[in-house]
Chains A and B, each alone.
Chain A
Amino acid sequence: LVATGVGAKTYRRIRFILIQNRAGKTRLAKWYMQFDDDEKQKLIEEVHAVVTVRDAKHTNFVEFRNFKIIYRRYAGLYFCICVDVTDNNLAYLEGIHNFVEVLNEYFHNVCELDLVFNFYKVYTVVDEMFLAGEIRETSQTKVLKQLLMLQSLE
C-alpha cells in the first residue's frame, strides 16, 4: 500500500557457506553472520537434513527459515550457500560452480580428502572469492594466479 524505502530490499548478502558430505560431516563452514556455537551446530544439522533428502529432479534451491539455501552436489559433497530469499538464485548457483572449478584446478582434481588435509588453504580460497558475505572476485584466472603466488611464499 505504502511503499517502503526502495533501497531496503536491494541489499542482501551471504549468511553462510557450508560444505558437507553425505554423512553430514562438515568440510567447510564459513559464517558471515553472528551465531553462537550451538546455533551453528543446529544450522549445520538442519541444512544437512533439508538438502540430502532432495534428488536430482528437485530444484537447487530450498527455503530455509527466513532465508534460502542454494546448493549443488558434487560427488559426495554438498556445497551450500545460505542467502536472503530475494537474492539471485542462479547467480549464487554458478558462484558455487565457479568456486568448485577453482578448487578443482588448485588441488588438481579436488577430492574430499584435499579439503580435509588442506582445510586451512580452503579458507584462503574462500576469502579470495567471497568476503564479508559478498562476491569478491569471479575471475578464475585471477584467483588462481593469486593462490599460486601465495603458494610460492613461505
Chain B
Amino acid sequence: MPAVSKGDGMRGLAVFISDIRNCKSKEAEIKRINKELANIRSKFKGDKALDGYSKKKYVCKLLFIFLLGHDIDFGHMEAVNLLSSNKYTEKQIGYLFISVLVNSNSELIRLINNAIKNDLSSRNPTFMCLALHCIANVGSREMAEAFAGEIPRILVAGDTMDSVKQSAALCLLRLYKASPDLVLMGEWTSRVVHLLNDQHMGVVTAAISLITCLSSKNPDEFKTCVSLAVSRLSRIVSSASTDLQDYTYYFVPAPWLSCKLLRLLQCYPPPEDGAVKGRLVECLETILNKAQEPPKSKKVQHSNAKNAILFEAISLIIHYDSEPNLLVRACNQLGQFLQHRETNLRYLALESMCTLASSEFSHEAVKTHIETVINALKTERDVSVRQRAADLLYAMCDRSNAKQIVAEMLSYLETADYSIREEMVLKVAILAEKYAVDYSWYVDTILNLIRIAGDYVSEEVWYRVIQIVINRDDVQGYAAKTVFEALQAPACHENMVKVGGYILGEFGNLIAGDPRSSPLVQFNLLHSKFHLCSVPTRALLLSAYIKFINLFPETKATIQEVLRSDSQIRNSDVELQQRAVEYLKLSSIASTDVLATVLEEMPPFPERESSILAKLKKKKGPGAVSVELEDGKERGECVNFNPKPQRTSTPSPSADLLGLRSTAPASGATPSAGSLLVDVFSEAGPSATSAGVNDDGFLRFVCKNNGVLFENQLLQIGIKSEYRQNLGRMYLFYGNKTSVQFVSFNTTLNVQTKTVEPLVEGGAQVQQVINIECLTDFIDAPLLNIKFRYGGALQNISLKLPVTINKFFQPTEMAAADFFQRWKQLSQPQQEAQKIFKASHGMDTEVLKAKLLGLGTALLENVDPNPENYVCAGVIQTKAQQVGCLLRLEPNAQAQMYRLTLRSSKDTVSQRVCDLLAEQF
C-alpha cells in the first residue's frame, strides 16, 4: 500500500516543524514561534483574502504551536471558516482545530453548529463522519441540544452508510453520557437494539458500546438485547478462524466484539429463557475449551486476543455466580495461568481469582492454589503482581488457612515495598482479628506487626489490639507478659511503647508475681523508653505511671520522684506538665479508695465494627467518603439524633487511660427530651431523586431487618440492621447504579445535617453506619434526606428509616400459666389495643410464624387452647424503662379475617405495636 510521505501537502508546515526541531534552546524555540505567530497574524489581518490552502496551513501551524504547549488566542474564526470549505483536507483541519481547542465562545459555537448541521445533511459520508467526530470529541451541551434529536435518525436510517452509522452510534453515546436528559431513545430503542444483528461487524462493534451504556441505565427497556447478543456471540465463537475475514485478528475471530458482547451480558442476570441460557452456557464452555487447545500461532497477539475473550467470559461466569461447574472450570484455568511464563497472565489470573474466591462455589477450588500464590508473593519481580498475590491471599483466607496466610504475609512484610506496607499491615490486622481462635495468637501477630512494620501501623491498629485485650480477660495476662518481653528489645518501635504502656498500666499486676517482672522492673523498663518518645506517647506513659501507683503501692515513692522532677513538673509541654502536676497531687492526697475508684480498670469497649476494617474500606473504595456529623438538633417531640465522631470508642492519641474521656459513648450525651437517640458515624454518602417522603419501603421492614429500602434508576439503598436490647446499628448501603459520579452529595437525618465529600463514583457503593439508642417508646420514625447532583439535575429523596419500636423487643419465653396470669394483670382498658382486620395476604401458617418471630417477640407454643391462634411475649427495651408486651393473634380462615390483641404496661406501646403489626398480614 502506498505510504504517505512526510508532511505532504503542506510544505510550509513541514519547514516550520523542522525549524522548531532544530532549535537548540527553549529560548530559540520561543523566538521562532513568536516570529511565526506574527507572520500568521499579519496574514490573517492582511488585505489580501487568503485562499483555502493557506488558511488550512496557518491554522494547522497554530494547532502545532498549541500542542507544543503555547497559548493560542486567535485563528478560531479562520478555523471555523475552514468548516464550510468543500475540500476534505481543509474541513478536516478546521474540525481538528475546533476539537482540540474547544472554545465555549458562544458566537463561535453557533457558527460551528451551523457548519456541522450542513455537513450532517450533506449526504456526503466523509463530511458526515467529520461532523459526527467533532460532536463526539467536543460533546458540549450546546451540541447535544442541537443534534441529540438528529443523530438517532441518522443511526437507524436505512440508507446511512456503515461508517456513518459507526460514528453516529458513538457520537450518540458521548451525548448521552454528557447530557442524558437530552437524549431520548424511546422510539428508537428497538431499532438500536437490532443493530446487534447488523451484517457489518464494525457497526455492531460501535453500536454495542451504545447499547451497553443504555442498558446499564435502563435494563428493562433494552432487555431484548440479551438474546440477540447471545446469538451473535454464539455465531462468532463457533466460527472458524478464517470465517470472519477482516475481523479475524491473529487467528482469533472478532476478539474485541466478543469481549463487548460478553460485557453487555454482564448488565443482566442469567437469561431466563432456557434455550437462550443453554446457548450461552455452550458459548462459555467453548471459550473455556479453546483455552486448552494448542495455539494456532506462537505470536503473543494470538494468545492475548484469545485470553482477552477468556477473561471476559470468566467475568461473566463470576457475575452470574450460579453455575458451579463453570466457576470451578474457570478457577482451574486461572490456576494454570498462575504458573504461566507471561507476567501479564499471572497478574490477571491472580486478579480474577480474587473475585472467584468470594463465590461459595469456587472458594474451595481457589484455596487449592495457596502454595502457588504464596510463592508468587515471594518471588514475583513486579510489585504490582505481588500486590495482587497479597490481595488474593487476603480473599482466600478463612479459618482453615488463616494462620498460614497471616504468617506468610508477616514474613513478606519484612521486605515488602513501602508503597504497599500500610495496606498489608491493615490486612494482617484484620485477618488476625477475624480468624483469631485463640487470642494469644492475635496478640502475638499484632505485636509482630508492630515489630516488623511499626511505622506503618496506624492508630486504628494499635487501638484495636488494646480494645480487644481489654474486652477479653482470658488474654490479658498473656498480653502483659508478651509486651513486657517485647519491650526488652533495645530498640523497639514507639507504637510498641504505647501498647506496652497501656497494657502494663492496666494489667501489669497479672505478671507482677514473677520477680523478673516485678512492679519496679516493669516501671523501670517503661521509663527507660520515656525519653526517646514523642509527647503523646510520654503523656500516655505518665498515665500508665499513675495507674502503677494504684496497682502497686510499693512503686509510689519511685514514681512520685519521677513526676516531681523538673523535666516533668516543669515540662514546657502544657499537657505533660499538667499530667505530671495532677498525677503527683492525686497520688499524694487521695485515699487508696479514691485512687482505686479513679484509676479503676477500663470498662470493656462497646463492640463495634472494627475501625481497621473501616479504614481498609476507605483506602479501597474510590468513592468512599467519610462523614463526620455536626451537632444535631432535636426535632420537637421524641426523636433526637446525636452525632458522634466515628471513633468514640477508641482512645484519643494522648490516650486517656484514666477513662476520663470527655465524650462519653453514645449514651445520652445530649441533654434532650428525645427518646430515640441516633448516633450517626459514617463512611459515606451518596445518592438520588424526587421529593416527598417515600414511605413504601418502611412497612416492609417491620418484621425484617435486611433488604432494599429504596431503588430508582440511579440509586439503590440497601439496609442491614441489628438490634440488641435498646441499642441498634443500621448499615445503609448507597449504590450508584450509573457510571457517572454523583456530586454535591449529602445525607441528612431529620434536621441534623452534614455535608459529605461531594462525589460518589459511578458504580461505586458507599456505606453509612447509624448507631441507634432507644430512649423511650416512640411512634415517628427518623427521616433520612438524601441530596446529590446527577448530571446537571439536583436529586432529592426523603425516606423514613425503618426504625420501629418493635425492633427493641427481647423475646420472653413463658409457660401457659404465667402467660395467662400476666394477661390478666394487664386488664385495664388503656393497656389493651385491639384490631380486627381483613387479611391482605395468604394465611399460611409458616409465613405467619415467620412474621411474628420477625417482630422480635417469642412465639409461645401450647399456650392458647385454640391451636389456630398465636400468642407471643416480649419486653421492649428502652433506656427509660422496659415495657412487657403480650400478643394474641386469632386468624379466621373462613372469613379471611384476623383479630389482633396487644396488652402491655404502657398504652402507647400497645397501640403502636398493634398498628404496625396489623399492616403485616
Which residues in A have some Cβ–Cβ distance to B below 8 Å? 1-13, 26, 29, 41, 54, 57-63, 66, 88-91, 93-95, 97-98, 105-109, 113-114, 116-121, 123-124, 127, 131-142, 144, 146, 148-151, 153-154
Q: Is the CB of A5 within 8 A of B716?
A: yes
Q: Whole-angstrom distance from the CB of A27 to the nearest CB of chain B?
A: 10
Q: How far is the CB of A32 from chain B (nearest CB, A)?
A: 9
* Size class of the contact patch on chain B: 35 or more
Q: Does B67 contact A (CB under 8 A)?
A: yes
- Check A88 against B311 for contact (C-beta < 8 Å): yes
Q: Which residues of B contact A121 (CB under 8 A)?
A: 4
CB-CB nearest in chain B for A87: B263
A6 and B269 contact, CB distance less than 8 A: yes
- Interface residue from B174, B382, B716 paired with A4 (Cβ < 8 Å): B716
Nearest CB of A to B246, in Å: 4
- What A residues does B173 contact at CB under 8 A? 132, 134
When distances are taken between beta carbons in the complex, the residues of chain B under 8 Å from A134 are 170, 173, 206, 209
Partner of B205, one of A108, A137, A150: A137
Overall SS of chain B's interface: helix
Chain A residues, Cβ within 8 Å of B707: 2
Complex CA gap A114/B5 in Å reads 8
Stretch at the interface among B35-43, B341-349, B493-501: B341-349
B17 at the interface (CB under 8 A from A): yes
Given contacts A4-B716, A89-B344, A94-B301, contact A10 B263 (CB under 8 A): yes
A131 interface neighbour in B171, B255, B263, B307, Cβ under 8 Å: B171
Q: Are B263 and A106 in contact (CB under 8 A)?
A: no
Please determine whether A132 and B384 come into contact, CB atoms closer than 8 angstroms. no
Please name all residues of chain A whose beta carbon is closer than 8 Å to the beta carbon of B765 when the two chains form the complex: 2, 4
Q: Is there contact, CB below 8 Å, between B384 and A63? A: yes
A8's nearest neighbour on chain B, judged by CB, is: B763
Whether the Cβ atoms of B247 and A139 lie closer than 8 Å is yes
Which residues does chain A contribute within 8 Å of B761, judged by CB atoms? Answer: 66
- List the 6 closest pairs (A to B, CB-CB), nearest first: A2-B718, A108-B3, A4-B735, A5-B737, A7-B216, A90-B308
B126 adjacent to chain A (CB < 8 Å)? yes
> Which residues of chain B (705-731) have a CB below 8 Å from chain A?
706-708, 716, 718-720, 731
| B272 CB → nearest A CB, Å | 15
B1 near A148 with CB under 8 A, answer yes
B308 with A91: CB separation less than 8 A: yes
A120 touches B63 (CB 8 A): yes
Cross-chain pairs A/B with CB under 8 angstroms, 21 sampled: A2-B707, A4-B736, A5-B216, A5-B736, A6-B269, A6-B319, A7-B217, A9-B763, A54-B382, A90-B344, A95-B256, A97-B301, A105-B3, A106-B1, A119-B64, A119-B67, A120-B92, A139-B202, A142-B246, A146-B163, A151-B2
B166 touches A137 (CB 8 A): yes
Instruction: Tell me which of A4, A6, A57 has the highest count of chain B C-beta atoms within 10 A of its own C-beta.
Output: A4
Closest to A105 in B: B1
B820 at the interface (CB under 8 A from A): no
New contact pairs (18) apart from A91-B256, A116-B17, CB-CB < 8 Å: A2-B708, A2-B720, A5-B716, A13-B209, A58-B384, A88-B311, A90-B305, A91-B255, A109-B3, A113-B6, A118-B4, A120-B96, A121-B4, A138-B249, A138-B257, A141-B245, A149-B126, A151-B4
B304 and A7 within 8 A (CB)? no
Contacts of B249 in A (CB 8 A): 94, 98, 138
B14 within 8 A of A: yes
1/0 contact string of B141-177 vs chain A (CB within 8 Å): 0000000000000000000000100110011011001
List the B residue with the shortest CB-CB distance to A67: B622
Q: Report if B616 contacts A (CB, 8 A).
A: no
- Binary CB contact string for chain B from 732 to 751 against chain A (1 if under 8 A, 0 otherwise): 01011111000000000000
Q: Which residues of A contact B311 (CB under 8 A)?
A: 88-90
Bound-complex Cα distance A136 to B301 (A) = 20
